[in-house]
Structure 1
């Protein structure tokens, strides 16, 4: 199910502004890759190009290629909606649909795509997804209660269950623990380690300790000055990035000299 991601000569624009410049990276399947770097360096912008989410902003576009197992998601005729089903996104703040029950939240992707499910199929997907998000035992007796009634950490795991329910190949996470307490953060990090058994997982984080805990590989992004584009500076095994980086900018960032 998991797919390899290749960015080839990727540039990302907001209108005439070049936000991210010349990214070339290979992200392996069934692994966790973390993007780190100071605010405004293009981490989230690049993340959003992987499922074409950046295009929802007027004037935003990309040139170059993003390949999923060799297929360019930016080829003419490729439907962005299809890509967003293949490449799921978990956002910074938990965002369960407030008027929907836990059950309806998990199955929302099927409803939005107009897919009709039998009750038995829906129940099977519901349980599998909630178990996959380590949430089933906590909510199995209140599936028809509002998803917004869960705790913050439970809401984030509900959003992850909603993402995995449609069986994507890739799961993108944009600072998924930044709004959570330490106990909830640990639960989500444990889940991330389990998800990589079946998915390609890419996470943006400002928490370098979190990157060190969960990521197999880490990419460091930086910006050379105000108004300059973000750039990929170094990409390697996480242990190498944090213990023996090749680039002085990487060393300065992880040692706290800036950022």
Structure 2
């Protein structure tokens, strides 16, 4: 688990509209990379290209390459479903399956991928995944209760457990704490620190303090104006981005002068 991501000359289109232009970035295994920038600058669009989730929108396509340990995810014959198994995603709002129990939520991805397991094997995956999401002790006595019965922060960690259960190489997170209270946010941030020992993690966040707390590297995206493509402006160690960025626009953004 945990693989390197190499993005080269990536342009992202929605039909004829160029949404993100010319991204070149190298993301190391077992690191947390934060994507920051003003609304509409292409952060989430770029994030979704890393597991081809943007393709759920008709007409979406890319030019350039996204490689996972040297394998181009957009090469002919590559199955997007398998890409999304390798590169899991946690969304902005917790989205447990409403008709499923906590246990069934954790196993949903495994079963969707055709996994037929003995009950004992399923139990092992459930416990390991919930422990991995730092949720086991809180829910181990009520696994048959609905996933929706959990608090917002617990639901988000349940979604992380569901992602971890299919053993991905990379975990993408699109503003995973934006709907959470400070205590739940801290729990998810602590979890991110633990998960990076096994996974490559890329997170979109509008919270500058969160980016500085959880990430090893930070990528600043910006946009020149309405109708223009988003661009990667600067990418460096998080400490550098927040204390000595090389581009004025980066300093203006992280210091709160705009955005």
Structure 1-normalised TM-score?
1.00
Determine whether 1:240 maps to 2:229: no
Provide the rounded CA distance (Å) in 2 between the counterparts of 1:113 and 1:221: 34
Partner of residue 75, structure 2: 75
| Deviation (angstroms), 1:107 | 0.3
Determine whether 1:28 maps to 2:39: no
Paired residue secondary structure (1:111): helix
Partner of residue 38, structure 2: 38
Paired residue secondary structure (2:3): coil
Partner of residue 3, structure 2: 3
> How is 1:1-259 mapped onto 2 (pairs within 5 angstroms)?
1-259=1-259
Provide the rounded CA distance (Å) in 1 between the counterparts of 2:220 and 2:110: 36
Provide the rounded CA distance (Å) in 2 between the counterparts of 1:9 and 1:70: 15
| Deviation (angstroms), 1:111 | 1.6
Provide the rounded CA distance (Å) in 1 between the counterparts of 2:248 and 2:57: 34
| Deviation (angstroms), 1:113 | 1.6
1:106-132 residue CA offsets vs partner (Å, 9 max, x unmatched): 000122122101111100000000000
Gaps in structure 2 of 5+ consecutive residues: none
Provide the rounded CA distance (Å) in 2 between the counterparts of 1:16 and 1:107: 39
Structure 2-normalised TM-score?
1.00
RMSD in angstroms over aligned alpha carbons?
A: 0.4
Paired residue secondary structure (2:33): strand
Provide the rounded CA distance (Å) in 1 between the counterparts of 2:13 and 2:194: 34
Provide the rounded CA distance (Å) in 1 between the counterparts of 2:215 and 2:111: 33
| Deviation (angstroms), 1:231 | 0.2
Provide the rounded CA distance (Å) in 2 between the counterparts of 1:112 and 1:207: 34
Provide the rounded CA distance (Å) in 2 between the counterparts of 1:156 and 1:164: 12
Paired residue secondary structure (1:100): coil
Provide the rounded CA distance (Å) in 1 between the counterparts of 2:32 and 2:14: 28
| Deviation (angstroms), 1:257 | 1.2
| Deviation (angstroms), 1:67 | 0.3
Gaps in structure 1 of 5+ consecutive residues: none
Paired residue secondary structure (2:125): helix
Provide the rounded CA distance (Å) in 2 between the counterparts of 1:57 and 1:237: 33
Provide the rounded CA distance (Å) in 1 between the counterparts of 2:27 and 2:40: 22
Provide the rounded CA distance (Å) in 2 between the counterparts of 1:225 and 1:135: 43
